[in-house]
Chains A and B, each alone.
Chain A
Amino acid sequence: MSETNPAPIHPGIGAPRWLLAELSYKCPLQCPYCSNPLDYARYPDELSTEDWKRVLTQARRMGAVQLGFSGGEPLTRPDLIELVAHARELGYYTNLITSGYGLSEEKIVALKQAGLDHIQISIQASDPVLNDYIAGATTYLEKQAVARLIKKHGYPMVLCVVIHRQNIEQMPGILAMAEELGADYLELANTQYYGWAHQNRETLLPTREQFIAAEKIAQAHKEKVAGKMKIYYVVPDYYEDRPKACMNGWGSTFLTIAPDGVALPCHSARELPGLDCPNVKDYSIEQIWRDSRAFNLFRGTAWMQEPCASCDEKHKDFGGCHCQAYLFNQDMHSTDPVCSKSPQRWKVDAAIAAAATAAQAAEQPLLFRNPKNSKQFRPSGNE
Protein backbone atom coordinates (compact mmCIF):
# COMPACT_ATOMS: atom_id res chain seq x y z
CA MET A 1 0.00 0.00 0.00
CA SER A 2 1.21 3.48 -0.76
CA GLU A 3 1.41 6.15 1.89
CA THR A 4 -1.73 7.84 0.65
CA ASN A 5 -3.85 4.81 1.42
CA PRO A 6 -5.98 5.04 4.54
CA ALA A 7 -4.89 3.37 7.72
CA PRO A 8 -6.76 0.11 8.28
CA ILE A 9 -9.59 0.36 10.79
CA HIS A 10 -10.92 -2.56 12.82
CA PRO A 11 -13.94 -4.20 11.22
CA GLY A 12 -17.19 -2.60 12.34
CA ILE A 13 -15.62 0.73 13.27
CA GLY A 14 -15.96 3.40 10.62
CA ALA A 15 -13.50 6.21 10.12
CA PRO A 16 -13.94 9.77 11.40
CA ARG A 17 -15.24 12.09 8.68
CA TRP A 18 -15.69 15.27 10.69
CA LEU A 19 -12.95 16.80 12.79
CA LEU A 20 -13.77 19.73 15.03
CA ALA A 21 -10.59 21.49 16.09
CA GLU A 22 -11.34 23.71 19.08
CA LEU A 23 -8.20 25.79 18.89
CA SER A 24 -8.73 27.89 22.02
CA TYR A 25 -11.27 28.50 24.76
CA LYS A 26 -10.42 32.22 24.63
CA CYS A 27 -13.27 34.33 23.27
CA PRO A 28 -14.10 38.04 23.33
CA LEU A 29 -17.81 37.16 23.49
CA GLN A 30 -19.77 35.87 26.50
CA CYS A 31 -22.79 34.13 24.94
CA PRO A 32 -24.87 32.56 27.71
CA TYR A 33 -25.51 29.39 25.63
CA CYS A 34 -21.87 28.68 24.73
CA SER A 35 -21.17 25.00 24.01
CA ASN A 36 -17.82 25.08 25.82
CA PRO A 37 -17.72 23.35 29.20
CA LEU A 38 -18.81 25.38 32.24
CA ASP A 39 -15.38 24.97 33.81
CA TYR A 40 -13.43 25.80 30.61
CA ALA A 41 -11.34 28.36 32.50
CA ARG A 42 -9.67 25.44 34.31
CA TYR A 43 -8.14 24.24 31.04
CA PRO A 44 -5.99 27.13 29.84
CA ASP A 45 -3.39 24.92 28.12
CA GLU A 46 -3.36 24.96 24.33
CA LEU A 47 -1.76 22.55 21.91
CA SER A 48 1.29 23.79 20.02
CA THR A 49 1.26 24.40 16.27
CA GLU A 50 3.19 21.16 15.75
CA ASP A 51 0.69 19.18 17.85
CA TRP A 52 -2.21 20.50 15.76
CA LYS A 53 -0.43 19.73 12.49
CA ARG A 54 0.20 16.18 13.62
CA VAL A 55 -3.45 15.75 14.67
CA LEU A 56 -4.68 17.09 11.32
CA THR A 57 -2.34 14.81 9.40
CA GLN A 58 -3.28 11.69 11.38
CA ALA A 59 -7.03 12.29 11.15
CA ARG A 60 -6.86 13.03 7.43
CA ARG A 61 -4.97 9.80 6.82
CA MET A 62 -7.87 7.94 8.47
CA GLY A 63 -10.38 9.62 6.18
CA ALA A 64 -11.51 12.80 7.96
CA VAL A 65 -12.49 15.33 5.30
CA GLN A 66 -14.59 18.07 6.92
CA LEU A 67 -12.57 20.19 9.30
CA GLY A 68 -14.01 22.91 11.52
CA PHE A 69 -11.68 25.42 13.16
CA SER A 70 -13.62 26.52 16.18
CA GLY A 71 -13.14 27.46 19.82
CA GLY A 72 -13.78 29.69 21.79
CA GLU A 73 -12.76 32.08 19.10
CA PRO A 74 -10.30 30.47 16.64
CA LEU A 75 -9.07 33.92 15.55
CA THR A 76 -7.29 34.21 18.90
CA ARG A 77 -4.70 31.68 17.65
CA PRO A 78 -1.76 33.47 16.01
CA ASP A 79 -1.00 30.34 13.93
CA LEU A 80 -4.49 30.05 12.40
CA ILE A 81 -3.34 30.85 8.86
CA GLU A 82 -0.50 28.32 9.10
CA LEU A 83 -2.93 25.63 10.30
CA VAL A 84 -5.43 26.43 7.53
CA ALA A 85 -2.66 26.13 4.93
CA HIS A 86 -1.54 22.79 6.36
CA ALA A 87 -5.12 21.48 6.41
CA ARG A 88 -5.87 22.58 2.86
CA GLU A 89 -2.70 20.95 1.62
CA LEU A 90 -3.88 17.69 3.20
CA GLY A 91 -7.15 17.96 1.25
CA TYR A 92 -9.55 18.93 4.01
CA TYR A 93 -12.58 21.08 3.34
CA THR A 94 -11.77 23.83 5.82
CA ASN A 95 -14.49 25.65 7.76
CA LEU A 96 -13.79 28.63 10.00
CA ILE A 97 -16.44 28.88 12.70
CA THR A 98 -16.11 32.35 14.15
CA SER A 99 -17.87 35.20 15.91
CA GLY A 100 -16.38 37.41 13.18
CA TYR A 101 -15.25 39.81 15.88
CA GLY A 102 -11.75 41.03 15.11
CA LEU A 103 -11.66 39.56 11.59
CA SER A 104 -9.93 42.18 9.43
CA GLU A 105 -10.13 42.33 5.64
CA GLU A 106 -6.40 41.67 5.54
CA LYS A 107 -6.89 38.43 7.45
CA ILE A 108 -9.88 37.41 5.30
CA VAL A 109 -7.62 37.72 2.24
CA ALA A 110 -4.70 35.91 3.89
CA LEU A 111 -6.97 33.04 4.96
CA LYS A 112 -8.29 32.77 1.40
CA GLN A 113 -4.75 32.57 0.09
CA ALA A 114 -4.00 29.87 2.64
CA GLY A 115 -6.90 27.87 1.18
CA LEU A 116 -9.76 28.44 3.61
CA ASP A 117 -12.96 27.13 1.98
CA HIS A 118 -15.75 28.62 4.05
CA ILE A 119 -16.54 31.00 6.89
CA GLN A 120 -19.41 30.59 9.30
CA ILE A 121 -20.16 33.76 11.21
CA SER A 122 -22.53 34.06 14.14
CA ILE A 123 -24.87 36.97 14.77
CA GLN A 124 -26.85 36.95 17.99
CA ALA A 125 -29.94 38.93 16.95
CA SER A 126 -31.31 41.13 14.18
CA ASP A 127 -30.90 44.35 16.14
CA PRO A 128 -27.80 45.84 17.77
CA VAL A 129 -29.18 46.20 21.30
CA LEU A 130 -30.14 42.55 21.74
CA ASN A 131 -27.12 41.29 19.76
CA ASP A 132 -24.70 43.19 21.96
CA TYR A 133 -26.51 42.16 25.16
CA ILE A 134 -26.45 38.43 24.31
CA ALA A 135 -22.87 38.56 23.01
CA GLY A 136 -21.78 40.43 26.13
CA ALA A 137 -19.80 42.75 23.86
CA THR A 138 -20.45 45.56 21.38
CA THR A 139 -20.13 43.57 18.17
CA TYR A 140 -23.22 44.03 15.98
CA LEU A 141 -21.91 46.63 13.54
CA GLU A 142 -18.56 44.92 13.16
CA LYS A 143 -20.20 41.55 12.52
CA GLN A 144 -22.36 43.07 9.78
CA ALA A 145 -19.28 44.63 8.17
CA VAL A 146 -17.34 41.36 8.39
CA ALA A 147 -20.23 39.41 6.82
CA ARG A 148 -20.09 41.75 3.79
CA LEU A 149 -16.31 41.31 3.52
CA ILE A 150 -16.67 37.51 3.58
CA LYS A 151 -18.98 37.69 0.56
CA LYS A 152 -16.82 40.34 -1.13
CA HIS A 153 -13.91 37.90 -1.11
CA GLY A 154 -15.87 35.03 -2.63
CA TYR A 155 -16.34 32.70 0.30
CA PRO A 156 -19.49 30.68 0.79
CA MET A 157 -20.97 32.10 3.97
CA VAL A 158 -23.05 30.45 6.63
CA LEU A 159 -24.81 32.86 8.94
CA CYS A 160 -25.49 31.13 12.23
CA VAL A 161 -28.10 32.52 14.58
CA VAL A 162 -28.69 30.65 17.82
CA ILE A 163 -32.40 30.84 18.62
CA HIS A 164 -33.85 31.17 22.13
CA ARG A 165 -36.65 32.96 23.93
CA GLN A 166 -34.91 36.34 23.84
CA ASN A 167 -34.68 36.47 20.03
CA ILE A 168 -37.20 33.93 18.69
CA GLU A 169 -39.81 36.63 18.02
CA GLN A 170 -37.30 38.39 15.76
CA MET A 171 -37.53 35.52 13.25
CA PRO A 172 -38.79 37.75 10.36
CA GLY A 173 -36.00 40.24 11.08
CA ILE A 174 -33.36 37.50 11.23
CA LEU A 175 -34.50 36.09 7.86
CA ALA A 176 -34.41 39.57 6.28
CA MET A 177 -30.94 40.23 7.73
CA ALA A 178 -29.57 36.97 6.30
CA GLU A 179 -30.88 37.81 2.83
CA GLU A 180 -29.59 41.35 3.01
CA LEU A 181 -26.10 40.15 4.01
CA GLY A 182 -26.05 37.65 1.10
CA ALA A 183 -25.72 34.53 3.25
CA ASP A 184 -25.56 31.34 1.20
CA TYR A 185 -26.77 29.32 4.17
CA LEU A 186 -28.69 30.41 7.23
CA GLU A 187 -28.41 28.13 10.20
CA LEU A 188 -31.25 28.71 12.61
CA ALA A 189 -29.91 26.74 15.53
CA ASN A 190 -32.38 26.34 18.32
CA THR A 191 -30.37 26.32 21.53
CA GLN A 192 -29.32 22.89 22.75
CA TYR A 193 -29.50 22.85 26.52
CA TYR A 194 -26.11 21.69 27.78
CA GLY A 195 -23.45 23.50 29.76
CA TRP A 196 -24.02 27.25 29.77
CA ALA A 197 -27.39 26.99 28.04
CA HIS A 198 -28.52 24.46 30.64
CA GLN A 199 -27.62 26.93 33.39
CA ASN A 200 -29.72 29.59 31.64
CA ARG A 201 -32.52 27.33 30.48
CA GLU A 202 -35.41 29.06 32.24
CA THR A 203 -34.49 32.33 30.55
CA LEU A 204 -33.63 30.88 27.14
CA LEU A 205 -36.13 28.08 26.41
CA PRO A 206 -38.96 29.39 24.18
CA THR A 207 -42.54 28.41 24.95
CA ARG A 208 -44.15 25.82 22.69
CA GLU A 209 -46.33 28.54 21.13
CA GLN A 210 -43.28 30.68 20.34
CA PHE A 211 -41.47 27.71 18.85
CA ILE A 212 -44.40 26.69 16.62
CA ALA A 213 -44.91 30.25 15.36
CA ALA A 214 -41.20 30.77 14.59
CA GLU A 215 -40.84 27.44 12.83
CA LYS A 216 -43.82 28.21 10.61
CA ILE A 217 -42.25 31.51 9.54
CA ALA A 218 -38.86 29.89 8.87
CA GLN A 219 -40.30 26.96 6.88
CA ALA A 220 -42.39 29.30 4.71
CA HIS A 221 -39.31 31.40 4.04
CA LYS A 222 -37.35 28.30 3.02
CA GLU A 223 -39.50 27.97 -0.09
CA LYS A 224 -39.34 31.66 -0.86
CA VAL A 225 -35.52 31.73 -0.99
CA ALA A 226 -35.01 28.27 -2.58
CA GLY A 227 -32.10 28.41 -5.01
CA LYS A 228 -30.62 31.52 -3.37
CA MET A 229 -30.18 30.70 0.29
CA LYS A 230 -30.41 27.37 2.08
CA ILE A 231 -31.96 27.38 5.52
CA TYR A 232 -30.88 24.77 8.03
CA TYR A 233 -33.37 24.58 10.84
CA VAL A 234 -32.04 22.84 13.93
CA VAL A 235 -35.04 21.81 16.01
CA PRO A 236 -35.08 22.15 19.79
CA ASP A 237 -35.26 18.53 20.86
CA TYR A 238 -37.29 19.26 24.00
CA TYR A 239 -40.29 19.73 21.71
CA GLU A 240 -39.74 16.46 19.85
CA ASP A 241 -40.93 13.06 21.08
CA ARG A 242 -37.96 11.11 19.77
CA PRO A 243 -34.34 11.95 20.59
CA LYS A 244 -31.88 13.22 18.01
CA ALA A 245 -29.44 10.69 16.51
CA CYS A 246 -26.71 12.39 18.47
CA MET A 247 -23.39 12.79 16.61
CA ASN A 248 -24.76 10.35 14.01
CA GLY A 249 -23.87 7.64 16.51
CA TRP A 250 -21.14 7.83 19.15
CA GLY A 251 -17.66 7.35 17.71
CA SER A 252 -19.03 6.88 14.19
CA THR A 253 -18.37 10.15 12.38
CA PHE A 254 -17.37 13.01 14.67
CA LEU A 255 -14.15 13.71 16.49
CA THR A 256 -13.60 16.84 18.57
CA ILE A 257 -10.21 17.91 19.86
CA ALA A 258 -10.39 20.39 22.74
CA PRO A 259 -7.83 23.22 23.04
CA ASP A 260 -5.67 21.25 25.49
CA GLY A 261 -5.61 18.15 23.29
CA VAL A 262 -8.37 16.10 24.92
CA ALA A 263 -10.16 14.02 22.27
CA LEU A 264 -13.95 13.95 22.63
CA PRO A 265 -16.63 11.90 20.82
CA CYS A 266 -18.83 15.02 21.00
CA HIS A 267 -18.03 18.61 21.93
CA SER A 268 -20.22 18.40 25.06
CA ALA A 269 -18.82 15.09 26.29
CA ARG A 270 -16.33 16.77 28.58
CA GLU A 271 -19.13 17.18 31.11
CA LEU A 272 -19.73 13.42 31.33
CA PRO A 273 -18.29 11.97 34.56
CA GLY A 274 -15.52 9.39 34.44
CA LEU A 275 -15.31 9.33 30.65
CA ASP A 276 -11.55 9.73 30.97
CA CYS A 277 -10.98 11.00 27.46
CA PRO A 278 -7.52 10.47 25.99
CA ASN A 279 -5.19 13.30 25.00
CA VAL A 280 -3.56 13.61 21.57
CA LYS A 281 -0.28 14.34 23.34
CA ASP A 282 -0.29 10.75 24.62
CA TYR A 283 -1.89 8.76 21.79
CA SER A 284 -2.29 8.87 18.03
CA ILE A 285 -5.69 9.69 16.55
CA GLU A 286 -5.95 6.12 15.31
CA GLN A 287 -5.30 4.67 18.78
CA ILE A 288 -7.82 7.07 20.30
CA TRP A 289 -10.50 6.37 17.70
CA ARG A 290 -10.05 2.63 17.60
CA ASP A 291 -8.89 1.54 21.04
CA SER A 292 -9.83 4.09 23.71
CA ARG A 293 -12.51 3.22 26.22
CA ALA A 294 -14.13 6.63 25.79
CA PHE A 295 -14.72 6.22 22.04
CA ASN A 296 -15.92 2.61 22.38
CA LEU A 297 -18.22 3.20 25.34
CA PHE A 298 -21.44 3.83 23.37
CA ARG A 299 -20.62 2.14 20.09
CA GLY A 300 -23.12 -0.51 19.07
CA THR A 301 -26.13 -1.35 21.26
CA ALA A 302 -24.69 -3.57 24.03
CA TRP A 303 -24.53 -0.60 26.47
CA MET A 304 -28.27 0.11 26.21
CA GLN A 305 -30.79 -0.14 29.03
CA GLU A 306 -34.54 -0.35 28.61
CA PRO A 307 -36.52 1.11 26.93
CA CYS A 308 -33.72 1.43 24.33
CA ALA A 309 -32.49 -2.18 24.46
CA SER A 310 -35.70 -3.68 23.05
CA CYS A 311 -36.75 -0.65 20.97
CA ASP A 312 -37.15 -1.12 17.21
CA GLU A 313 -35.90 2.44 16.63
CA LYS A 314 -32.56 1.96 18.39
CA HIS A 315 -30.61 1.88 15.11
CA LYS A 316 -32.24 5.14 14.08
CA ASP A 317 -31.41 7.38 17.05
CA PHE A 318 -28.78 5.25 18.88
CA GLY A 319 -30.50 6.00 22.20
CA GLY A 320 -30.20 9.76 21.74
CA CYS A 321 -27.84 12.04 23.60
CA HIS A 322 -25.72 10.82 26.53
CA CYS A 323 -25.05 14.32 27.83
CA GLN A 324 -28.80 14.93 28.03
CA ALA A 325 -29.34 11.57 29.78
CA TYR A 326 -26.67 12.55 32.28
CA LEU A 327 -28.01 16.07 32.87
CA PHE A 328 -31.55 14.84 33.57
CA ASN A 329 -30.96 11.38 35.07
CA GLN A 330 -27.37 11.54 36.35
CA ASP A 331 -26.90 8.36 34.30
CA MET A 332 -25.31 8.68 30.87
CA HIS A 333 -26.30 5.08 30.01
CA SER A 334 -30.01 5.82 30.38
CA THR A 335 -32.38 6.65 27.54
CA ASP A 336 -32.36 10.28 26.43
CA PRO A 337 -35.35 11.65 28.41
CA VAL A 338 -36.58 13.55 25.34
CA CYS A 339 -37.94 10.19 24.14
CA SER A 340 -41.62 9.73 24.97
CA LYS A 341 -40.81 6.09 25.77
CA SER A 342 -38.45 7.17 28.56
CA PRO A 343 -39.97 6.91 32.06
CA GLN A 344 -38.11 10.18 32.75
CA ARG A 345 -39.83 12.20 29.99
CA TRP A 346 -41.81 14.06 32.66
CA LYS A 347 -38.57 15.85 33.62
CA VAL A 348 -38.34 17.43 30.16
CA ASP A 349 -42.00 18.42 30.35
CA ALA A 350 -41.36 19.94 33.79
CA ALA A 351 -38.47 21.99 32.33
CA ILE A 352 -40.75 23.23 29.53
CA ALA A 353 -43.42 24.18 32.09
CA ALA A 354 -40.88 25.96 34.30
CA ALA A 355 -39.63 28.01 31.34
CA ALA A 356 -43.22 28.88 30.36
CA THR A 357 -43.86 30.12 33.90
CA ALA A 358 -40.63 32.09 33.89
CA ALA A 359 -41.63 33.67 30.57
CA GLN A 360 -44.67 35.18 32.30
CA ALA A 361 -42.61 36.63 35.14
CA ALA A 362 -39.92 39.31 35.13
CA GLU A 363 -36.91 37.91 33.28
CA GLN A 364 -34.09 36.48 35.35
CA PRO A 365 -30.55 37.69 34.66
CA LEU A 366 -28.44 35.51 32.36
CA LEU A 367 -25.25 33.82 33.49
CA PHE A 368 -22.71 34.99 30.91
CA ARG A 369 -19.88 32.80 29.70
CA ASN A 370 -16.66 34.39 30.94
CA PRO A 371 -13.62 33.31 32.99
CA LYS A 372 -14.97 34.75 36.25
CA ASN A 373 -18.25 32.82 35.99
CA SER A 374 -16.46 29.71 34.75
CA LYS A 375 -14.24 29.53 37.82
CA GLN A 376 -17.24 28.95 40.11
CA PHE A 377 -17.76 25.51 38.55
CA ARG A 378 -15.93 22.43 39.75
CA PRO A 379 -13.87 20.42 37.25
CA SER A 380 -15.87 18.20 34.89
CA GLY A 381 -16.38 14.60 35.84
CA ASN A 382 -16.14 15.21 39.59
CA GLU A 383 -19.78 16.03 40.18
Chain B
Amino acid sequence: MSLDPEQSLQFSPLHRLQWEEAQQKYVILYPEGMVELNHSSAEILKLCDGAHKAADIVAELEAKFQASGLENDIHQFLSAALQNGWIKHV
Protein backbone atom coordinates (compact mmCIF):
# COMPACT_ATOMS: atom_id res chain seq x y z
CA MET B 1 0.00 0.00 0.00
CA SER B 2 1.44 3.37 -0.97
CA LEU B 3 0.86 6.74 0.61
CA ASP B 4 -2.15 8.62 -0.82
CA PRO B 5 -1.76 12.37 -0.25
CA GLU B 6 -5.52 12.92 -0.72
CA GLN B 7 -6.54 10.70 2.18
CA SER B 8 -6.42 11.30 5.91
CA LEU B 9 -4.41 8.91 8.04
CA GLN B 10 -5.36 7.16 11.22
CA PHE B 11 -3.57 4.94 13.68
CA SER B 12 -4.37 1.24 13.26
CA PRO B 13 -7.08 -0.12 15.57
CA LEU B 14 -5.01 -3.32 15.75
CA HIS B 15 -2.05 -1.51 17.35
CA ARG B 16 -1.63 0.74 20.36
CA LEU B 17 0.57 3.83 20.66
CA GLN B 18 1.58 4.39 24.27
CA TRP B 19 4.01 6.41 26.38
CA GLU B 20 6.18 4.11 28.51
CA GLU B 21 7.31 5.77 31.69
CA ALA B 22 9.91 3.07 32.43
CA GLN B 23 11.53 3.48 29.01
CA GLN B 24 10.93 7.22 28.70
CA LYS B 25 9.70 6.76 25.15
CA TYR B 26 6.66 6.06 23.03
CA VAL B 27 6.15 2.48 21.90
CA ILE B 28 3.84 0.72 19.46
CA LEU B 29 2.25 -2.34 21.00
CA TYR B 30 0.70 -5.19 19.02
CA PRO B 31 0.16 -8.92 19.57
CA GLU B 32 3.21 -10.13 21.48
CA GLY B 33 5.41 -7.37 20.11
CA MET B 34 6.66 -3.85 20.71
CA VAL B 35 8.44 -1.22 18.63
CA GLU B 36 10.32 1.53 20.46
CA LEU B 37 9.94 4.92 18.80
CA ASN B 38 12.28 7.85 18.64
CA HIS B 39 10.93 11.31 19.34
CA SER B 40 10.23 12.36 15.76
CA SER B 41 8.50 9.10 14.79
CA ALA B 42 6.21 9.44 17.78
CA GLU B 43 5.37 13.05 16.86
CA ILE B 44 4.35 11.95 13.36
CA LEU B 45 2.24 9.02 14.56
CA LYS B 46 0.41 11.14 17.14
CA LEU B 47 -0.91 13.22 14.24
CA CYS B 48 -2.33 10.14 12.50
CA ASP B 49 -5.67 10.82 14.16
CA GLY B 50 -8.07 10.41 11.26
CA ALA B 51 -8.16 14.17 10.58
CA HIS B 52 -4.70 14.84 9.11
CA LYS B 53 -3.45 14.12 5.58
CA ALA B 54 0.28 13.72 4.92
CA ALA B 55 0.66 17.38 3.91
CA ASP B 56 -1.14 18.53 7.09
CA ILE B 57 1.27 16.51 9.20
CA VAL B 58 4.26 18.06 7.44
CA ALA B 59 2.87 21.59 7.87
CA GLU B 60 2.03 21.06 11.51
CA LEU B 61 5.42 19.60 12.44
CA GLU B 62 7.37 22.19 10.46
CA ALA B 63 5.50 24.88 12.37
CA LYS B 64 5.92 23.13 15.70
CA PHE B 65 9.66 22.63 15.32
CA GLN B 66 10.26 25.80 13.28
CA ALA B 67 11.89 23.74 10.57
CA SER B 68 11.50 23.31 6.84
CA GLY B 69 12.22 20.56 4.33
CA LEU B 70 10.75 17.80 6.51
CA GLU B 71 8.48 16.52 3.74
CA ASN B 72 10.73 13.77 2.39
CA ASP B 73 11.56 12.32 5.78
CA ILE B 74 7.95 12.40 6.94
CA HIS B 75 6.63 10.83 3.72
CA GLN B 76 9.24 8.12 3.95
CA PHE B 77 8.28 7.32 7.53
CA LEU B 78 4.54 7.35 6.76
CA SER B 79 5.08 4.94 3.85
CA ALA B 80 6.98 2.57 6.11
CA ALA B 81 4.31 2.90 8.79
CA LEU B 82 1.63 1.99 6.22
CA GLN B 83 3.66 -1.03 5.12
CA ASN B 84 3.97 -2.15 8.73
CA GLY B 85 0.24 -1.73 9.31
CA TRP B 86 0.74 0.84 12.10
CA ILE B 87 -1.43 3.39 10.26
CA LYS B 88 -4.03 3.26 7.51
CA HIS B 89 -5.94 5.57 5.21
CA VAL B 90 -9.29 6.62 6.62
Task: Please determine whether A15 and B29 come into contact, CB atoms closer than 8 angstroms.
Answer: no
What residues on B are CB-neighbors of A184 within 8 Å? 14, 31
Contact assessment for B29 and A17 in the assembled complex, using a CB-CB cutoff below 8 Å: no
A118 to B1, CA, bound (A): 24
Give the A-B pair count, Cβ closer than 8 A: 51
B31 pairs with A65, CB closer than 8 A: no
Which residues of the other chain, A, contact B85 by a CB distance below 8 angstroms? 227, 230
In the assembled complex, the CB of B34 is this many whole angstroms from the nearest CB of chain A, namely 6
Q: B31's contact among A6, A17, A63, A156, by CB below 8 Å, is which?
A: A156
Partner of B32, one of A4, A15, A158, A227: A158
Per-position contact with B for A141-162: 1 when CB-CB < 8 Å, else 0?
A: 0000000000000101010000
CA distance A158 to B22 in the complex (A): 27
User: Could you say which residues of chain B place their CB within 8 Å of the CB of A68?
Assistant: 32
B28-67 interface with A by 8 A CB criterion? 29-34
Report how far A345 CA is from B23 CA in the complex, Å: 40
Min distance, Cβ A275 to any Cβ of chain B, angstroms: 25
The one of B1, B13, B27 in contact with A65, judged by C-beta atoms closer than 8 angstroms, is: B27
Set A5, A154, A156, A158: member contacting B21, Cβ < 8 A:
A5
> How many of A's residues come within 8 Å of B, CB to CB?
23
Residues of B contacting A4 in the complex (Cβ-Cβ under 8 angstroms): 21
Distance of B17 from chain A, by nearest CB (Å): 11
**Is the Cβ of A66 less than 8 Å from the Cβ of B21?**
no
Q: What distance in Å separates the Cβ of A140 from its nearest Cβ neighbour in chain B?
A: 23
CB of A361, distance to nearest CB on chain B (Å): 38
**Are B30 and A156 in contact (CB-based, < 8 A)?**
yes
Which residues of B are found within 8 Å of A66, using beta-carbon distances? 29, 32-34
Contacts of B16 in A (CB 8 A): 93, 117
Whether A63 contacts B22 by the Cβ 8 Å rule is: yes
Q: How far is the CB of A118 from chain B (nearest CB, A)?
A: 4
Contact of B13 among A93, A95, A154, A230 (CB under 8 A): A154
CA distance A230 to B14 in the complex (A): 13
Assess A227 versus B1: contact at CB under 8 Å? Given A95-B31, A95-B32: yes
- The 8 Å CB contact of A117, one of B22, B23, B29, is B29
The answer to whether A158 and B23 touch (CB under 8 A), given A93-B16, A227-B1, A227-B85, is no
A154 / chain B contacts, CB cutoff of 8 Å: 13
B1 / chain A contacts, CB cutoff of 8 Å: 227
* B4 beta carbon closer than 8 Å to chain A: no
Query: In the complex, what distance in Å separates the CA atom of A353 from the CA atom of B1?
Result: 46
B29 touches A93 (CB 8 A): yes
Q: Which of B13, B23, B29, B83 contacts A63 (CB 8 A)?
A: B23
CA distance A156 to B13 in the complex (A): 9
Measured CA separation A118–B20 after assembly (Å): 19
Residues on B with beta carbons closer than 8 Å to the beta carbon of A227: 1, 83, 85
Q: In the assembly, what is the distance between CA of A95 and CA of B16, in Å? A: 13
**Does A120 belong to the interface (CB within 8 Å)?**
yes
Closest residue to B28 on the A side, CB-wise? A93
Minimal beta-carbon separation of B36 from chain A (angstroms): 10
The digit string for A45-76, where 1 denotes a CB below 8 A from any CB of B, is 00000000000000000110110100000000
CB distance from A365 to the nearest CB of B (A): 33
| A274→B42 CA distance, assembly (Å) | 46
| A328 within 8 Å of B (CB atoms) | no
Q: How far is the CA of A68 from the CA of B33 in the complex (A)?
A: 11
List, in ascending order, chain A residues with CB within 8 A of B33's CB.
66
Quick check: A120 and B22 within 8 Å, CB to CB? no
| Smallest Cβ-Cβ distance to B31: which chain A residue | A118
Chain A hits for B20, CB < 8 A? 63, 65
**Closest residue on chain A to residue B13 by CB atoms:** A154
- Inter-subunit contact B29/A65 (CB<8 Å): yes
Once A95-B31, A158-B32 are accepted as A-B contacts, the answer to whether A15 and B22 lie under 8 Å apart by CB is: yes
* A1-45 residues at the B interface, CB under 8 angstroms: 4-6, 15, 17
List 25 interface pairs A-B (beta carbons < 8 Å), by A numbering.
Answer: A4-B21, A5-B21, A6-B21, A15-B22, A17-B34, A63-B20, A63-B22, A65-B18, A65-B22, A65-B27, A66-B33, A66-B34, A68-B32, A93-B29, A95-B31, A117-B29, A118-B31, A120-B32, A154-B13, A156-B15, A156-B30, A158-B32, A227-B1, A227-B83, A230-B85
**Contacts beyond the supplied A63-B20, A156-B31: 8 A-B pairs with Cβ under 8 Å:** A6-B22, A65-B18, A65-B22, A65-B29, A66-B29, A93-B30, A120-B32, A154-B13
